Amino acid sequence: MTHPSEGARKEEDRSVDGVSAVDAMNEQLEALLSGGDPRGMLELSERATAMARRLDYIKGEAYSRLFMGYAFWFLAEHRKGLEQASVARALFEKLDDQAGRNKALLCLHTVQQGMGTYDEALSNVLECLKFFRNEGLRFWEGLSLLSLSNFYEQLGSFKKAQELYEQTKVMGREVGKDWMVARALVGQGTIHRRLGAHDEALECYLDSLPLFRSSANPMGEARALNDLGLIYQQKGEHDQALDYHRRSLAIREQIGQRQAQCTSLINMGWLLIDRKQSSEALDVLGRALATAIEIQSKPRIYQAHEALSAAYELQGDFVAALKHHREFQKIKEDVFNRDANARISSLQTDFEVERAEKEAEIARLRNVELKETNERLERLLHELRAAQTQLLHSEKMAALGRLVAGLSHELNSPLGAIAAANDVRVRCLGTLDTVLKERESFEKVVLDERFQKAWRILNDDTQVIAAASGRLKKIVESLKTFARLDQAQFQMADLRAGLESVLELLPQNLTERITVIREFQEVPEIPCYPGEMNQVFMSLIQNAVDAIENRGAIRFQIAAEGRWLRIRIIDTGKGIPAARLKRLFEFDFTQEGSRVRMSTGLATAHAVVAKHQGRIGVESEVGKGTTFTIELPIEWVPEEQGSSGGQSESGDTRSRT
């Protein structure tokens, strides 16, 4: 029995179910970012990392290592937290995953801030806040705001910290994270406490407790209890203060939050010093210092040394007190220098944050403005299309009216001739019937003058009827060609035949005063909407006819020139003033008593030619006449037929003046 290779097994293991399992674990880990169960978070992240590595699932491993970094931070194992966050960032950069990279940077900031390396922490959190805000990642924007708020609080920039905590509360409510709101409340309470506003601080802490508890967030609950202890400690109510500190320490020991344990122990140490219990204070503070050194938290180390110096001084051991005081000064100076640099950088921080906020607001307003503009343009476009459809319909109806008027005249003439001939034929047949009844023989019938006259009239009327019928047939055929009623709307068509059909529909009385000159060359069929092009021809011919008041001529030219089919309609009418040529193809153009009074006709002609990716131009001189030129591409495909639908080369539809 053969065994699959290691590569095959890995490929087999990397199933959809395996990847989905890693993703599900990472979703659980994100939900644990409140810090409610750091040990459980660490265990789950280690399992997710191992599975992702086995599946060679890089994105899954990157996220599980990111959350592992947070778990180590909760547990105050800062070096391990930095290591995991750095690995996560490298994996995200390998994937070119900018969102993941910034999440890893935020984790690095959080760990660095916990270690007291504020300069690096500052640059990271500013970069993250700007990215999350621009990308609309609201939960992570909230985490960034929370971190930056805490940063300002530690720098003593209370006003800015209060503003950021307020923003964090809004963000927490928006994303449905009560623990985020509660942590912001605790931060605001701390600022009130440090400013001596004890009542306001108590209100914030007490408001935060139910939110932490409903979110199952013991880490936040312990922080609120610790700060309540500090309030009562400052108020001199030592018993109640000690109770809150002990309850806070018990929770922190239970969840393994070692840096926070240092904080509780140091606070308890100061409380015991205030109560003159030096021995108990030394015991508690010794534990705090050992833990702080183990987790390499410089702020907690110098705070423990400071409290130990005071405890030994209370006990009368001034040598030990001096020793701890020197250590306190030495380490604090190092941290203070970092703080000083951070304070200098805080001015830049203010600028960067405010600029990021303004940029985000500008982007938001711009998006709103663009959305409103797009909606307005869509409405205008819809109205324009509706108006264009109505105008096209109006022009079609106007052209139809002119066509019906001309057809009525044209049809009445042959129909009248047929009717008159038929009436004469009825009378002739009556005469023939009378002659046949009066004469005894065929020879006498033939010799009768009445018979001979009636026979001649019948022969003449037959020719009249034949001519009239031929005219009717020609009109019907021209009308059929004009309308293309029996053919597809878009097709290959001979526009020369279409132009000819339009000319055939002109009333006879017009051709009596206007000479029609045809200069038609052989041209290929082109793809077009023949019905619409016939409408263009009808409109331009009607304008040419209107421009000729008495007698004149209209010359029609059609020829293929290169890639273009060129049609010219040249009249000897009044011509158009140069000032009006620029607006000739606009819908609102009117000119009473001139050849261009039907402004919708020319505008429609312009629209139809543009639809064919062609060009229409006009040249005119007052008193000499006007020339309309239409140029259509011999090869093109409209958008609705699946083509790219772009403009053909030189496909300008502007008037040539």
Hey, what are 59's tokens? 């994105």
DSSP bridge pairs for 569: 556, 628
Q: Which residues contact 538 (CB under 8 A, 6 or more apart)?
A: 399, 402, 403, 482, 502, 505
Better-scored residue on pLDDT, 111 or 171: 171
The pLDDT-based confidence of 448 (bands split at 50, 70, 90) is: confident
The reported pLDDT for the residue numbered 531 is 82
Total count of residues recorded for the chain: 657
pLDDT over threshold 70, residue 123: no
Residue 246 CA: distances (Å) to CA of 37, 363, 445: 20, 49, 147
Model confidence over 517-536: pLDDT tens digits? Answer: 999 999 999 999 888 888 88
pTM of the model: 0.49
The reported pLDDT for the residue numbered 359 is 60
Site of tokens 């709101």 = 181
What whole-number distance in Å separates Cα of residue 569 and Cα of residue 566?
10
The reported pLDDT for the residue numbered 157 is 81
Better-scored residue on pLDDT, 605 or 391: 605
Q: Which residues contact 237 (CB under 8 A, 6 or more apart)?
A: none
The reported pLDDT for the residue numbered 605 is 85
The reported pLDDT for the residue numbered 364 is 59
Residue 496: phi, psi to the nearest 5?
A: -65, -45
Lowest mean pLDDT among 207-216, 319-328, 507-516: 507-516
pLDDT over threshold 90, residue 619: yes
Mean pLDDT of 235-255: 90
Within 275-317, residue ranges assigned H as helices are 278-295, 298-315
The pLDDT-based confidence of 604 (bands split at 50, 70, 90) is: confident
pLDDT over threshold 80, residue 379: no
The pLDDT-based confidence of 228 (bands split at 50, 70, 90) is: very high
Better-scored residue on pLDDT, 545 or 596: 545
Do 627 and 616 contact (CB within 8 A), yes or no? no
Q: What is the largest CA-CA distance in the chain?
A: 173
Within 10 A of 88 (CB to CB), how many other CB atoms are there?
Answer: 27
Within 10 A of 365 (CB to CB), how many other CB atoms are there?
Answer: 10
Lowest mean pLDDT among 195-209, 478-492, 506-520: 478-492
The reported pLDDT for the residue numbered 75 is 81
In the chain, pLDDT over 90 holds for what percent of residues?
Answer: 32
The pLDDT-based confidence of 647 (bands split at 50, 70, 90) is: very low
Do 485 and 522 contact (CB within 8 A), yes or no? no
pLDDT over threshold 60, residue 383: yes
Do 593 and 614 contact (CB within 8 A), yes or no? no
The pLDDT-based confidence of 160 (bands split at 50, 70, 90) is: confident
pLDDT over threshold 80, residue 393: no
What whole-number distance in Å separates Cα of residue 481 and Cα of residue 530?
9
Model confidence over 74-120: pLDDT tens digits? Answer: 887 888 988 999 999 999 999 999 999 999 988 887 887 766 665 55
pLDDT over threshold 90, residue 372: no
Model confidence over 275-290: pLDDT tens digits? Answer: 999 999 999 999 999 9
Do 211 and 221 contact (CB within 8 A), yes or no? no
The pLDDT-based confidence of 358 (bands split at 50, 70, 90) is: low
- HEC secondary structure over 173-215: HHHCCHHHHHHHHHHHHHHHHHCCCHHHHHHHHHHHHHHHHHC
The pLDDT-based confidence of 432 (bands split at 50, 70, 90) is: confident
The pLDDT-based confidence of 347 (bands split at 50, 70, 90) is: very low
Within 10 A of 453 (CB to CB), how many other CB atoms are there?
Answer: 12
Nearest to 547 by CA among 573, 511, 514: 573
Chain centroid to CA 49: how far?
36
Do 296 and 331 contact (CB within 8 A), yes or no? no
Average predicted confidence (pLDDT) for the chain = 79
Do 298 and 328 contact (CB within 8 A), yes or no? no
Better-scored residue on pLDDT, 208 or 125: 208
Please state at what angle helix 6-13 crosses helix 38-55, rounded to 10 degrees. Answer: 130
- HEC secondary structure over 488-522: CCCEEECHHHHHHHHHHCCCHHHHHHEEEEEEECC
The reported pLDDT for the residue numbered 403 is 57
Within 10 A of 407 (CB to CB), how many other CB atoms are there?
Answer: 17
In the chain, pLDDT over 70 holds for what percent of residues?
Answer: 77
Mean pLDDT of 320-330: 88
Q: Report the range out of 109-123, 533-547, 564-578 with the highest average pLDDT.
A: 564-578
What whole-number distance in Å separates Cα of residue 268 and Cα of residue 262?
10
Q: Report the range out of 456-465, 553-562, 640-649 with the highest average pLDDT.
A: 553-562
Phi-psi domain of 368 (left: phi exceeds 0; alpha: psi -120 through 50; beta: other): alpha
